[in-house]
């Protein structure tokens, strides 16, 4: 209070915002300003020149990319299906693994501090290294093809699902666990009869999201050689075969949109 | 009437706190009795209750449930002890997504082995009993509704039925009416008293509404700063003693003066 | 109905008491219970085995069906993929070898790696900042409660979905043709998704501002722009910040990978080092990515917690 009086005396202006807000906004604006200036200097990025150079973009799209040309429809369809299968298989495996793992990391189930920390840290490591980097390591070890892709997708899905599940379980556990422990129920019974039913909407929702995410990631896995449409697309682009590449991109876009719509519908139906 | 709950010299100090939350607490509840605990916020009412079923571990002292000392029990023995203690919560603590039937049957989990508990294989007799208890409490038409769809008063009735399903010897009610309106509060307190008499259950009820405590209890326990400072009948609870318990003069407390003046 | 004093009975006494109650109840009171089922499916008693239900199909069926279908689809996927698990297990040793080689960190050419990391970080910053600015504008236009032209909101939302349907990597590849191998490619390439994400997320936040607030300001005579800055943004601020923090993390992840298609950045360092079997350098670079991402996550979580207070 005394602070705001001082400033009004010195500048003659009466402040209206909360002193906390003013400080936060100032700190935020300063941080962003510094980061922005540094980044612009470091990269030499000039949005106006880039905009100018992008005018080529329109011409590039219309001339080289369109109209899309289709020569290998069955091949492309097969690759797309493979991409989808990879996403589903990885999500399925990840679901089971994450469920087990998140139980180990949730205060609801495990009391042992060291197990909790181990589970949470391991999840953190996997989650914070981008999927494509994992993919590259796995391609390096297992060779080019769907095996590396499946493992990479499973790994990254497990990493992110585990954290999501841990959060869901923690939310659920806070209220319900007490009551059931008080009745003398055993831990497995509490998990099966209360925690899982209460967490179910979260589980379903996150699973569907992981399928969406995996289909997106799966399409680009091929760019590092792990199978699916990505590989096909990369090949076309390397051959400067833009028209065919554009058809593959088109197929990918359509598939992504269709899957998203389906998942929206399913989500509404199941979580009535 | 025999003693179903007895505590002797319970102490609890939370880490990081200089004063004890619970100090030298000793008292007894007999079968069929309704005992209310009153006191200011932070006086130790909730700590006392949670030390009884060991949701919070006491630092020292003994808790006897039906004559058995339970503070040193582990794992399955502790679970066996807990199933004899029913608990009713201020915020009901139901699983909102599950039906009322499923929620009340949770009370039986302490009596079932792990496998049956996980599979939810409740006996037909248990289910029948649940339906009948629900009917007695006026909830039969909600038996198969999701618990989340019920009103506050109804949810608390479900919570009470869940506790009764345990066939407990003792019932701990932690501020059962704090979230309810006056009409529902009366329904719940009536229910608790009736169940205590019918089932010969010793009920311990945390209340911050003194007049409710006076009306519904057989005995009152007053707590202050972790100590039990009053343990006696409702009629012997004078204004003076209330002022001592709450550390405030009567005109700063919202207690109906007619009731207190009977003392 | 009287329940006897079960707590003091012997187990067999309890059993017979319960059995007696049960027979009484079944004989006399069961038919009187009036449930109002919506359909035959909802009868609490299954006619087949006369067992009392604890839940009704309307609640349990959708979820069971869902997981059943998921299970089938996953099995089908596995079969179609024809994964050779034997091959996978036999090559796990390779993975072990690779990981151990990666763990040998080195300070060799550390300056190159740090430079590449800085490039990825600065690309992330610029993509987020520019995306934020554009996103605020298009978000405002895409929010149904404040857009000047009703259909515009729907059109923009569909446009966002289209933009997001093409993976960022692909956008980056396309932009590469025009802008060449420079940080600008990464920034512009990422903007497609960032703007689409912010557009949709901000629109959602703006739509959550109560209509009452907006009406009150319209009644004062404020114009659209004034309402936007004086009411909508402050009201949705915590939401906007949460979205921005979330996307910043994702952006870093994306920008570190973009290098792998040839633009600069730490992704390129990792790939180049591994291709030339300089595993130590790759391992160091990967560790740097992890440390940055992890610190970022910690920082943002604590900032979010402080703001929620």
Whether residue A89 is predicted with pLDDT greater than 90 in this model: the reply is yes
| Touching B: A residues 186-205, CB under 8 Å | 186, 188-194, 197-198, 200-201
Residues of C in contact with A254 (CB under 8 A): 165
Nearest CA in chain B to A193: B118
Closest chain B residue by Cα to residue A192: B118
The distance of C122 to chain A (nearest Cα, Å) reads 5
Whole-number Å distance between alpha carbons of A39 and A65: 33
* CB-based contact, B125 to chain C, within 8 Å: yes
How many structural domains is chain B composed of? 2
Q: Does B95 touch chain A (CB under 8 A)?
A: yes
In this complex, do C59 and B146 lie within 8 Å of one another by their Cβ atoms?
Answer: yes
How many CA atoms within 13 Å lie on the side-chain side of C272?
Answer: 14
Does B173 share its domain with B249? Answer: yes
The verdict on B118 touching A (C-beta cutoff 8 Å) is: yes
How confident is the model at residue A69, as a pLDDT?
77
Residues 130-169 of B with CB under 8 A from A: 159, 162-163, 166
3-state per-residue secondary structure call for chain B = CCEEEEEEEEEECCCCCCCCCEEEEEEEEECCCEEEEEECCCCCHHHHHHHHCCCCCCCEEEEEECCEECCCCCHHHHHHHHCCEEEECCCCCCCCCCEHHHHHHHHHHHHCCHHHHHHCCCCHHHHHHHHHHHHHCCCHHHCCCEHHHCCHHHHHHHHHHHHHHCCCCEEEEECCCCCCCHHHHHHHHHHHHHHHHHHCCEEEEECCCHHHHHHHCCEEEEEECCEEEEEECCCCCCHHHHHHHHCCCHHHCCCCHHHHHCC
Q: Give the tens place of pLDDT for each residue, B102-139.
A: 999 999 999 998 888 888 889 988 999 999 999 989 99
With beta carbons under 8 A apart, name residues in chain C contacting A200.
63
Nearest chain C residue to B202 by CA: give it.
C7
Q: Is the separation of the CB atoms in A136 and C271 below 8 Å? A: yes
Taking a contact as any Cβ pair under 8 Å apart, which residues of chain A between 195 and 224 contact chain C? 200, 204, 207, 216, 219-220, 223-224
What is the pLDDT at residue C38? 37
Interchain CB contact of C297 with A (< 8 Å): yes
Task: Give the span between the Cα atoms of C134 and A121, in whole angstroms.
Answer: 36
Q: Are residues B196 and B162 in the same domain?
A: no
Same domain, B59 and B117: no
Would you call A253 and C162 a contact, using CB atoms and an 8 Å cutoff? Answer: yes
Identify which of A186, A197, A198 has the shortest CB distance to residue B114. Answer: A186
Residue entry with tokens 């019920």: B150
Which domain-ending residue is among B141, B166, B191?
B166
Residues B185 and B69 in one domain: yes
CA–CA separation, B76 and A188 (whole Å): 13
Residue C26 confidence (pLDDT): 45
Give the per-residue pLDDT at C30: 38
Q: Could you tell me the pTM of the whole model?
A: 0.79
Residue A162 · residue A101 · CB < 8 Å: yes
DSSP state, residue C4: P
pLDDT of the residue at C307: 72
User: Do residue B186 and residue B253 come from a single domain?
Assistant: yes
The region of weakest confidence among B169-173, B232-236, C65-69, C228-232 is C228-232
Instruction: Identify any residues that bridge with C51 across adjacent strands, giving them in sequence order.
Output: C46
The more confident residue out of A132 and A225 is: A132
| Overall residue count recorded for chain C in this entry | 309
Q: B110, A185: Cβ pair inside 8 Å?
A: yes
Instruction: Take residue B31 and report the two structure tokens written for it.
Output: 């079968």
Closest residue in A to C96 (Cα–Cα): A141
For the segment A120-143, the average pLDDT, to the nearest whole number, is 85
Provide the greatest CA pair distance for chain B: 57
Per-residue pLDDT tens digits for A214-268: 888 888 887 777 777 888 887 887 787 888 888 888 888 888 889 888 988 988 8
The reported pLDDT for the residue numbered A234 is 79
CB–CB of A140 and C274 under 8 A?
A: yes
Domain that holds residue B193: 3-84+168-262
Q: Which candidate from A88, A93, A125 shows the least CB-CB separation from C73? A: A88
Give the C-alpha separation, B80 to B112, whole Å: 10
Do B205 and B189 belong together in one domain? Answer: yes
Domain boundary among B133, B166, B199: B166
Task: List residues bridging with B171 in a β-sheet.
Answer: B86, B203
Of the pLDDT bands very low, low, confident and very high (cuts 50, 70, 90), residue A109 is low
pLDDT at A5 over 70: no
Nearest CA in chain C to A257: C165
Residues of chain C with pLDDT under 70: 1-50, 262-263, 308-309
More confident residue, A25 or B123: B123
Together in a domain, B10 and B54: yes
| Residue in B143, B163, B171, B196 to test binding to C, most C beta-carbons within 10 Å | B143
What token pair was written down for B102?
């499923």
User: What is the nearest CA distance from B237 to chain A, expressed in angstroms?
Assistant: 32
Asked whether residue B89 is domain-assigned, the answer is no
User: Which candidate from B105, B140, B198 shows the least CB-CB separation from C33?
Assistant: B140
The reply to whether B158 and B176 lie within a common domain is no
What are φ and ψ of residue B119, in 5° steps?
-80, -10
- What pLDDT digit, counting tens, does each position of A164-221 carry? 898 888 888 766 678 888 888 888 888 888 888 888 988 999 999 899 888 888 888 8
What's the pLDDT score for residue C13? 61
- Tell me how far apart the alpha carbons of residues C5 and B198 are, in angstroms, rounded to a whole number: 8
Examine the domain organization and report whether B116 and B175 are in the same domain: no
Q: Do C54 and B101 count as a contact with CB atoms less than 8 A apart?
A: yes
Chain C residues within 8 A of A130 when measuring between CB atoms: 253-254, 256-257, 267, 289, 293
Q: Interface pTM (ipTM) of the complex?
A: 0.80
Contact check, Cβ <8 Å, C95/A137: yes
* B79 → chain A, closest CA residue: A184
Same domain, B175 and B211: yes
The verdict on B253 and B175 lying in the same domain is: yes
Asked if residue B110 and residue B72 are part of one domain, the reply reads no
Residue B32, domain member (yes or no): yes
- The CATH number covering residue B219 comes to 3.40.50.300
What pLDDT, on the 0 to 100 scale, is given for residue B180? 92
Look at residue C10 in the predicted model and tell me its pLDDT. 60
Chain A neighbours, 3+ Cβ pairs < 8 A: B, C
| Element spanning B227, H or E | strand B227-232
Chain-chain contact of A146 with C63 (C-beta, under 8 angstroms): no
Boundary-marking domain end, from B127, B151, B166: B166
Q: Per the domain annotation, does B68 fall within a domain? A: yes
Interface test with A, best of C64, C66, C132, C175 (most A CBs within 10 A): C66
Q: Do C52 and B127 touch (CB under 8 A)?
A: yes
* pLDDT per position as a tens digit, B197-222: 998 999 999 998 899 999 999 999 99
């Amino acid at each position: 209070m005394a602070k705001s009086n001082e400033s009004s005396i010195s500048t003659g202006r009466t402040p209206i915002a909360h002193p906390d807000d003013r400080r936060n906004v100032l700190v935020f604006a300063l941080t962003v300003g510094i980061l922005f200036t540094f980044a612009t200097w470091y990269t030499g990025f000039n949005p106006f020149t880039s905009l100018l150079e992008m005018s080529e973009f329109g011409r590039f799209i219309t001339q080289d990319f369109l109209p899309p040309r289709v020569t290998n429809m069955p091949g492309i369809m097969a690759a797309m299906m493979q991409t989808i299968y990879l996403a589903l298989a990885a999500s399925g495996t990840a679901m089971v693994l994450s469920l087990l793992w998140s139980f180990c990391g949730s205060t609801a189930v495990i009391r042992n501090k060291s197990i909790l920390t181990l589970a949470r840290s391991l999840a953190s490591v996997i989650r914070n290294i981008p999927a494509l980097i994992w993919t590259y390591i796995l391609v390096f070890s297992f060779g080019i093809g769907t095996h590396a892709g499946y493992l990479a997708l499973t790994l990254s899905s497990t990493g992110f699902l585990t954290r999501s599940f841990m959060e869901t379980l923690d939310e659920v556990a806070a209220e319900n666990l007490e009551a059931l422990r008080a009745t003398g129920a055993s831990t497995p019974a509490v998990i099966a009869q209360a925690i899982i039913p209460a967490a179910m909407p979260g589980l379903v929702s996150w699973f569907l999201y992981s399928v969406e995410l995996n289909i997106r990631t799966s399409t680009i896995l091929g760019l590092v050689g792990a199978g699916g449409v990505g590989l096909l697309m990369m090949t076309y682009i390397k051959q400067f075969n833009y028209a065919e590449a554009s058809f593959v991109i088109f197929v990918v876009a359509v598939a992504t949109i269709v899957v998203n719509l389906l998942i929206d519908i399913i989500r509404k139906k199941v979580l009535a | 009437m025999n003693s179903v709950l007895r505590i002797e010299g319970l102490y609890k100090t939370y880490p990081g706190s200089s004063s004890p939350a619970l100090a030298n607490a000793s008292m007894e509840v007999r079968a069929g009795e309704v005992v209310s605990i009153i006191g200011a916020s932070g006086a130790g009412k909730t700590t006392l209750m949670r030390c009884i079923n060991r949701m919070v571990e006491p630092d020292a002292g003994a808790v006897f449930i039906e004559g058995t000392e339970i503070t040193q029990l582990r794992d399955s023995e502790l679970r066996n002890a807990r199933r004899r203690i029913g608990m009713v919560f201020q915020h009901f603590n139901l699983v909102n997504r599950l039906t009322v039937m499923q929620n009340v049957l949770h009370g039986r989990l302490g009596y079932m082995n792990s496998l049956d508990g996980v599979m939810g294989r409740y006996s037909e007799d248990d289910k029948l009993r649940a339906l009948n208890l629900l009917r007695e409490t006026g909830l039969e038409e909600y038996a198969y509704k999701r618990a989340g769809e019920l009103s506050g008063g109804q949810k608390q009735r479900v919570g009470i039925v869940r506790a009764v399903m345990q066939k407990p010897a003792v019932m701990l009610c932690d501020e059962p009416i704090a979230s309810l309106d006056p009409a529902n509060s009366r329904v719940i307190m009536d229910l608790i008293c009736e169940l205590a008499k019918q089932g010969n259950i010793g009920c311990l009820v945390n209340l911050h509404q003194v007049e409710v405590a006076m009306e519904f209890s057989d005995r009152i326990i007053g707590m202050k700063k972790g100590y039990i400072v009053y343990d006696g009948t409702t009629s012997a609870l004078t204004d003076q003693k209330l002022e001592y318990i709450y550390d405030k003069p009567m005109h700063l407390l919202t207690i109906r003066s007619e009731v207190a003046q009977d003392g | 109905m009287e329940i006897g004093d079960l707590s003091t009975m012997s187990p067999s006494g309890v059993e017979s008491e319960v059995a007696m109650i049960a027979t009484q109840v079944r004989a006399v009171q069961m038919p009187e219970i009036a449930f109002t089922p919506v359909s035959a499916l909802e009868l609490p008693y299954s006619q087949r085995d006369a067992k009392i239900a604890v839940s009704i199909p309307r609640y349990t069926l959708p979820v069971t069906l869902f997981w059943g279908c998921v299970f089938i689809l996953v099995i089908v996927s596995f079969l179609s993929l024809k994964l050779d698990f034997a091959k996978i297990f036999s090559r796990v040793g390779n993975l072990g070898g690779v990981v151990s080689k990666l763990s040998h960190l080195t300070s060799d050419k550390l300056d190159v790696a740090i430079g590449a990391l800085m490039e990825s970080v600065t690309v992330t910053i610029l993509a987020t900042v520019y995306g934020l600015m554009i996103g605020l504008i298009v978000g405002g236009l895409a929010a149904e409660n404040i857009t000047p032209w009703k259909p515009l909101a729907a059109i923009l939302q569909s446009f966002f979905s289209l933009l997001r349907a093409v993976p960022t990597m692909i956008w980056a590849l396309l932009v590469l043709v025009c802008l060449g191998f420079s940080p600008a490619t990464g920034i512009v390439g990422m903007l497609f998704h960032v703007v689409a994400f912010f557009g949709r997320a901000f629109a959602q936040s703006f739509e959550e501002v109560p209509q009452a607030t907006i009406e009150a300001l319209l009644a004062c005579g404020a114009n659209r722009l004034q309402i936007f800055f004086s009411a909508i943004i402050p009201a949705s601020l915590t939401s906007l910040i949460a979205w921005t923090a979330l996307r910043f993390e994702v952006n870093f992840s994306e920008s570190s990978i973009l290098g792998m298609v040839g633009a600069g950045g730490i992704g390129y360092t990792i790939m180049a080092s591994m291709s030339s079997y300089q595993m130590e350098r790759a391992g160091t670079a990967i560790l740097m990515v992890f440390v940055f991402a992890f610190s970022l996550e910690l920082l943002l979580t604590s900032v979010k917690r402080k703001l929620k207070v």
